[in-house]
Amino acid sequence: MADSLTQGRACFVGCGKMGEAMLAGWMASEDASASALRERGFCVVAPREERAALLASRYGVSTFASAAEVPSDASFIILAVKPQMMDEVLPLLAASPAFEQEPPLVLSIAAGTPCARIEAALPEGARVVRAMPNMPLLVQEGATVVARGTCASSADAAFVNGLFCALGTSEVVEEGQIDAVGALSGGGPAYFAHLAECLARAGAEAGLSPAMAEALARQTLAGTGAYLAQGDASLADLRVSVCSPGGTTLAALAAMDETIPEAAASGVQAAISRAKELTSC
């Protein structure tokens, strides 16, 4: 089979919200690595007929109903299924034409699913790389980390890392760090959205209309993110710059510090624990 880093189609096995965000991002990006991948072409495994038809219509990709049908020219396979589906999908993929010759490069974005587990279910020599992206990939502002398995090379990891750099930022890490990354940035958009929900609710209870309170919370969250992305200020620098001595923001932070630091730590640890439970399933 052709070298997966330079030739052959990319095939998504599963293409839900995150998978579609990656597909759409790589098709739209002008980054050189994404453009090269786009020129090679994409295909998608989508078991539901209506979903397959939508993806084919929206992106012009060929579709297959089962992982067992992944074609022999698919040299880069993206596993974008839920962790609970891996035991069903991996044996089908292992028996597909894609593994009839030289093993393709396999990228997994499933939480709690180590490279070793995927390698064990695929033919010997499978080159597996894991990534932990987050939902801002939808607007090409994702934060991703990449880790390689036993048989994948540093070039494989660099190839995948480059693709995710086209959709935001990405770094190569050791696989042992993946669970912590998932607990921080993987779930982070939900955490920040929940905090904004709480602030909006508090604003409404203080007399604002619910619509105005939500609009202010949303724009404050978006604007803060944009400010941090464009400048060199640290998180602590930004926090201090907003606070006037003896002012209202310091009073609010003093009250929040009674619960938020502990809640954040508990949340991250709970996510890590759940990832480890998924690993043992």
CATH number, domain containing residue 264: 1.10.3730.10
Domain check: are 31 and 121 in the same one? yes
Same domain for 103 and 155? Answer: yes
100 phi/psi in degrees, rounded to 5: -75, -25
For residues 168 and 191, membership in a common domain is answered with no
The residue from 157, 176, 195 where one domain ends is 176
Cβ within 8 Å of residue 253, ≥6 positions away: 239, 243
- Please say which residue of 121, 142, 176 terminates a domain: 176
Asked whether residue 208 is domain-assigned, the answer is yes
Whether residues 62 and 200 share a domain: the answer is: no
In a domain, 198, yes or no: yes
Residues 114 and 95 occupy one common structural domain: yes
Can you give the pTM of this predicted structure? 0.90
pLDDT at 89: 97
Domain final residue, candidates 112, 147, 176:
176
- Residue 2 included in any domain: no
Residue 86 lies in a domain: yes
- Per residue of the chain (281 residues), give pLDDT as tens: 446 787 899 999 999 999 999 999 999 999 999 999 999 999 999 999 999 999 999 999 999 999 999 999 999 999 999 999 999 999 999 999 999 988 899 999 998 899 999 999 999 999 999 999 999 998 889 999 999 999 999 999 999 999 999 999 999 999 999 999 999 999 999 999 999 999 999 999 999 999 999 999 999 999 999 998 887 889 999 999 999 999 999 999 999 999 999 999 999 999 999 988 887 76
Q: Are residues 13 and 116 in the same domain?
A: yes
- Whether residues 246 and 167 share a domain: the answer is no
Residues 269, 160, single domain; the answer is no
Can you give the residue range of the structural domain that contains 219?
186-280
Residue 1 forms part of a structural domain: no
Confidence at residue 281, expressed as pLDDT on a 0 to 100 scale: 67
Bridge partners (DSSP) of residue 105 are: 76, 127
Please report the pLDDT score of residue 230 as a whole number: 86
Question: Same domain, yes or no, for 167 and 80?
Answer: yes
Backbone angles phi, psi at 101, to 5 degrees: -125, -125
Residue 3 lies in a domain: no
Same-domain pairing of 45 and 139:
yes
